[in-house]
Structure 1
Amino acid sequence: MGTHTDINQQYEFSGKIKTWSLIAIVIGVVGVLYGFLIDPSDIAVQRTFSNLLLMSYYFACVCIAAVFFLSYQYLAQAGWSASLLRLPQAMAKVLPIAAVILVVVIVAGLFTTHEVVVDGVKEHAPYLYAHWATHGLTDPASANYDPIIAGKSGLLNIYTFLGLLLLFLIAYTVSGLKLVKFSNDEDERGGMFNYNKSFKVAAIFLLIFGFTFPVFAFDTIMSLDAHWFSTMFGWYNLAAMHVSGLAIIVLFLIYLRKKGYMQWVSQDHLHNLGQLMFGFSIFWTYVWFGQFFLIWYANLPEETVYFYKRWEPEYKFWFWLNLVLNFLAPLLLLMSRDAKRLTARLKITAIILIIGHWLDYYIMIMPGTMHYHEGHTPHLWEQFGIQEVSIAVGFGGLLIYLTLSALSKFKSLVPKKHPFLDESLHHHI
């Protein structure tokens, strides 16, 4: 495999990690089939769609986070990260698949309907986005007419909704693939030509991303509770997306180093990644608290309805556990300088954050899609059952399989002619 100075090192995707990732994918497929076919009850199908949305959104977000990471590294002209860019580049190469899966799940959830009873009247509503996509909500002549949804119909209609979703995902995907292409071309040609093009693409991406990602989060997640709105919700999602992506990059790097690859990645590099995980976990908490406190203090019914749902008995414990996992854990585990230099500590923190932000997305999505019978508080196994576990495992396996497959396609595990590579190979703080 070579030494830490062997920049021609290439990753070989084989062994247990490949086998286990394939097994995890099969588990995910079985979980989806169970929800749709083996237990075809309405609540099981609804849970399956909800979990597919949760994990496809999570999957797409961590791949977008990789493009985000690459872009701000280029725009900052950062030297420390040059030797580890192949990993987020591999995740960026997975984004087209993640984007397709997300679109397929959303389209299926929008156009697959089931019978619901509203005020004693039977209606057909989609499994996803029923709050605004149910027939008749924007028609004044309909018994279902909702003036609030009608007022938002310029954005919350199927054509605009899907058009924006596709537009955003294409923009993020093209940007990520361009950054990968220019890096590969840089290895072939050398010089500053491709680096300068990467710098320009990164600047354009960050400009587009800053304006569009909040809208992407509004459409995909916030519109599940279409009466509610928060101008902080997009930044809250951005923080969650970034922390999750960083945690996954850290776990991949620790795994690769353990297997003898990328030995040039030192504790100093991991320290920097630990700082980013810690800092953006605090930022996530800042936005979480700002959104929660302002809505609690104002006590306006159209705003408090969001948190009222999440304080019902079936969600209240998970609501507060979310804060423990995503704020207290990184705060206590990574606050000191030395803690960020301990591989085992970083690994544990990254795992906690990945689970924590899965729970974060769970709390964002499930109260807006799952509707239990009035007066019925679901048991733990009704909230976290076969679909939740198997679909999460399946998407985890898919991310590992596709990322490491993409990584193995690079001719070397380091951008050999990156202008700041020498700085990164000798990085010390």
Structure 2
Amino acid sequence: MLPRGRGYDAQSVRIAIVTDYYYPHLGGITEHVHGQATELTRRGHEVTVVTGNVVRPPGIVDGEIHPEDGVPFEIVRVGAALPGYGNASQTYHVVDPLLRRKLRKIFQERKIDVVHVHSPYSPILPMLGVLAAPKTAVTVGTFHSVFPRTLGFDLAAPILRRVISRLDGKIVVSEACIGSLAPYLPYEYTVIPNGIDDRHFSPEADPIPELRDGKLNILFLGRFDPRNGLDTMIGAFTEVRRRVGPEVRLIVVGDGPLRSRYQRLVPSDIANDVHWAGRVNWNRPRYYATADIHCTPCQRASFGMVLLEAMSCGRPVVASRISGFQLLMEHGKQGLLISPAENVERFAESLMYLIERPEERERMGREGRKTAVNEYAWTKVAGQLEDYYLALLEKGPGA
């Protein structure tokens, strides 16, 4: 039996993290997996990340930097990670005709104690990760998404319950997820949030010199998925630019198939005031450091990793008043929350409010940094995971 108490002082745990999403794919689950694996390894556990081979890696501006190179944990890639589309966002699904057999071999050879699967209702790799787990290991699933009720989920729910019921532990990154899950997967869930590397995402990051030229910078960062609201962002910036003049700039960090569509939304007379930075990975803190305000008119999110990154970098946030964001920040404290998410005028007014009040930007930035460090640093979140694993291991698989 493992010793009680945080830290597993007398014994490390062998953990397999199974995920469709890992570098070079960029996104919230990728960041969660990387931070989870890094911090758990630092605490003395043996961690193996099991993921797919991305067939067509996305182009990245700082692509010469690979966060996965030289990590202290093992990365095992199986099958091919093929891109798809679902829940108004880009998705990946790992396919391999021998996937279940390969997973069993990986788990058995490493004598895995904990199989931790991200998005366990997602075919194919996550579901097979649950089904291939050794009988001697406890299985944990983390659910990351909010989604509307659909006919597809209605039809798939009985099959999904057969998989999810085999999990020994069920985690959600925020209470916002439970409302989506409850009609289909009515189980007991524990909230353990996303974490942040507060040393990397820091106010001390070096800004981009050519963009610190005296203009006030508004930052949008995210994939060009429709639900992320870049069209609303461009509309709000257009109004702000009309009022403020050329002393304000919009920096857009991200990319996707809809890039040309979004670029056409920018009026030609202010096109020079919108900087399209492209898809950025490791250097994201530098863009937060370059920004005066971070803005995200996202329409659907369970948590809001870009908000947390901006807050950790000490930047005020203007964001949609959606469930995942309201659980992370408070209106008037770390930034401003706007409803509805598609309201261009309200986003423009809120941006103007902060543009005209530098002291408010400073205050909100300090509050955001404090929240990120005190509540969401990986050093804290990994401790919650350790305690959760220990409780399950003491009960035993299937308890």
- Rg larger for: 1
Name the structure, 1 or 2, with higher relative contact order (CA <8 Å, separation 6+). Answer: 1
Shorter-chain TM band: under 0.3
Q: TM-score, normalised to structure 2's length?
A: 0.26
